[in-house]
Structure formats: C-alpha cells, structure tokens
C-alpha cells in the first residue's frame, strides 16, 4: 500500500510524516513538529507550474533580444545582448567565458523549460513511461536552476568593478532585467511542480502490465 492511500505525506519544511484527511483534494493538515500547512499534494500544482512556465517563455524573448549591458567608453557606447556577448568572447579567444555564459544564459534556461513542459504533459496524460527517469529530470531542473543566475551575477560584478569615471562605465540593460525574471519564473515553476504526481497513477500502470 502506498503512502497516499493511507493519507500520509511528508512535511515540506521539516520532512516529518503527517497524516492528511483524504475527504477532498484541498484538505490540509498541520505538521505536529513545525506547525506548517501540509497537503497530500501541492494545491493547483499543474496550473501554477504552467502559469510560471509560460511567463518565463514570454520573458525569455526580450531577455535575448534586448541588451544585457551598455559599455560607455571615450570611443562611444556599445550595447551587447547575451548572444553578441558570447560571440565577442569567442572572437577575443575567451572560450571558457563564452562557454559559461552560453551554458548559463541560453542552454540551461531552454533545457529547464523543455524538461518542465515534458513533465507537465506526461503527468496530464497520466503517462506510465519512464517515471524514474522523469523524477531524475525534475531533480536535474532543481540542480541546474541554481546556475542560471551566473549571467546576472557577471553583469552585476562588472557594473560594480568597472567604473572609471569618464573613461569607462558599464550599465545593465533591460535584457538583464528580463533575464532575471526568466530565472525567477523558472525557479517558481520548478518549485510549484509536485514530482509526486508522477507516481499517482501507479495502480493503473501496474494493472496495464
């Protein structure tokens, strides 16, 4: 017998095992250890995950089209998007920096968005395929999501360090703001998704075998 069939789940804060009433999906219990609210499943997990995910996709477009930063020198002002910054570092031979920025700013957000879309669709279709692999993919989104802030950190560090009065000045562009929103929305999307939903159709899947 599975824990959900007994109305048991873990507290999201202290991981204590809590018994939740099973009369309805919105029922709530309170952890006896930390008094946090505990639901048998995260309320409206799929709807919230889709909402944050779609917002991140919308913000991803201006984040890559608008300049991430403006560099003002005595020779003029130059603006760079994420991709033009990557190409600049490739042209100057800074391949490692180009690789880090491309991975953190383009590859990781796209990978995270695609994984969450796959998880949402597979849960909504009650798929029995690759459930262990899907759980690993969800863990992967949590791990790689922590590195999505690298690009914002690079811009913030450069703005703080490179400031030589009238000679050189670096200012963050609107692209940095939208990229920060992409990172926040994807993090909220991953946090809203309930990986336990992957296993909710275990009985039906076992019956098909």
Calpha distance 39→47 (Å, rounded) = 16
Measured between alpha carbons, how far is residue 136 from residues 26, 98, 128, 182 in Å?
Answer: 27, 28, 15, 23
For residue range 43-99, list pLDDT tens digits in order. Answer: 889 999 999 999 999 999 998 899 887 777 777 777 888 888 888 888 888 888 788
- 3-16 pLDDT per residue, tens: 777 778 888 888 88
């Amino acid at each position: 017998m599975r824990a959900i069939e007994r109305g048991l789940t873990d507290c999201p804060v202290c991981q204590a095992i809590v018994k939740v009433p099973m009369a309805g999906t919105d029922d709530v219990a309170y952890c006896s250890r930390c008094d946090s609210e505990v639901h048998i499943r995260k309320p409206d997990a799929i709807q919230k995950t889709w909402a944050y995910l779609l917002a991140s996709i919308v913000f991803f477009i201006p984040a890559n089209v608008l300049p991430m930063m403006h560099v003002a020198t005595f020779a003029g002002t130059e603006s760079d998007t994420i991709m033009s910054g990557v190409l600049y570092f490739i042209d100057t031979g800074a391949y490692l920096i180009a690789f880090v920025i491309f991975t953190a700013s383009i590859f990781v957000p796209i990978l995270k968005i695609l994984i969450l879309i796959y998880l949402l669709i597979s849960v909504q279709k009650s798929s029995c395929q690759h459930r262990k692999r899907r759980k690993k993919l969800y863990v992967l989104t949590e791990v790689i999501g922590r590195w999505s802030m690298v690009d914002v950190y690079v811009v913030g560090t450069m703005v703080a360090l490179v400031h030589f009065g009238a000679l050189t000045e670096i200012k963050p562009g609107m692209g940095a703001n939208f990229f920060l929103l992409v990172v926040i929305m994807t993090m909220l999307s991953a946090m809203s998704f309930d990986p336990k939903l992957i296993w909710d159709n275990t009985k039906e899947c076992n019956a098909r075998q």
